Amino acid sequence: MSEVEFANEIKRDLRLALEKDQLFLCYQPLIDVRTGKVASMEALLRWQHPKKGMISPIHFIPVAEETRQIIPIGEWVLRTACRQMKEWLNMGCSGFSISVNVSVHQLQQPDFAKVVFDILNEIELEPRYLELEITETVLIEAMDTVVRNLYRLKEMGVKIIIDDFGTENSSFRYMQKFTVDGLKIDKSFVSEIKVDVNKAIVDAIILLGHRMGLDVTAEGVETREQLDYLVERGCDKVQGYYFSKPLPPDEAIRMVQKGYQMFHVSSLCSQVLPRGRRSERHKRRG
Whether the CB-CB separation of 221 and 201 falls below 8 Å is answered with no
What is the sign, positive or negative, of the torsion defined by CA atoms of 107, 112, 117, 118? negative
Least distance in Å: CB of 7 to ligand C2E? Answer: 16
Q: How far apart are CA 257 and CA 251, in angstroms?
A: 10
Region from 120-128, 172-180, 214-222, 259-267 binding ligand C2E, contact rule CB under 6 A: 214-222
Binding residue count for ligand C2E, defined by CB under 6 A: 23
Which CB atom, from 134 or from 256, has the smaller least distance to ligand C2E?
A: 134
187 touches ligand C2E by CB under 6 A: yes
In angstroms, rounded to a whole number, what is the distance separating the alpha carbons of residues 147 and 174?
10
Q: What share of the chain is helix, strand, coil (3-state, %, to 5)?
A: 50, 20, 30
Nearer to ligand C2E, 9 or 222 (CB): 222
* Residue 241 interacting with ligand C2E (CB under 6 A): yes
84 binds ligand C2E (CB under 6 A): no
Dist. CA 108–CA 147, nearest whole Å: 9
**Residue 100-119 contact track with ligand C2E, rule CB under 6 A, x = bound:** -xxx----------------
State how far the Cα of 286 lies from the Cα of 280, in Å rounded to an integer: 10
Contact region for ligand C2E (CB under 6 A) — 96-104, 111-119, 193-201, 276-284? Answer: 96-104
Chain residues 89-108 in contact with Ca ion, contact rule CB under 5 A: 101
Closest CA to 97 of 27, 41, 176, 15: 41
| Nearest residue to 182 via CA among 211, 217, 207, 154 | 217
Which entry of ligand C2E, Ca ion, none binds 240, CB below 5 to 8 A by partner kind?
ligand C2E
Q: Which helix (H) or strand (E) holds 68?
A: none
Q: Select from 44, 55, 161, 214 the one that contacts ligand C2E (CB under 6 A).
A: 44
Asked whether position 14 contacts ligand C2E by CB under 6 A, the answer is no
**Binders of ligand C2E in range 248-277 (CB under 6 A):** none
32 binds, options Ca ion, ligand C2E, none, Cβ within 5 to 8 A by partner type: none
Give, for 242, the enclosing helix (H) or strand (E). Answer: none
Q: Which of 13, 32, 131, 133 binds Ca ion (CB under 5 A)?
A: 133
Is residue 178 helix, strand or coil?
A: coil
The one-letter amino acid at 159: K
Query: If you ran DSSP here, which 8-state letter would residue 211 be given?
Result: H
CA nearest neighbour of 123 among 182, 70, 71, 75:
75
* Shortest distance, position 75 Cβ to ligand C2E, whole Å: 11
Footprint on this chain of ligand C2E (rule: CB under 6 A)? 28, 44-45, 56-58, 61, 74, 77, 101-103, 133, 163-164, 187, 219-222, 240-241, 246
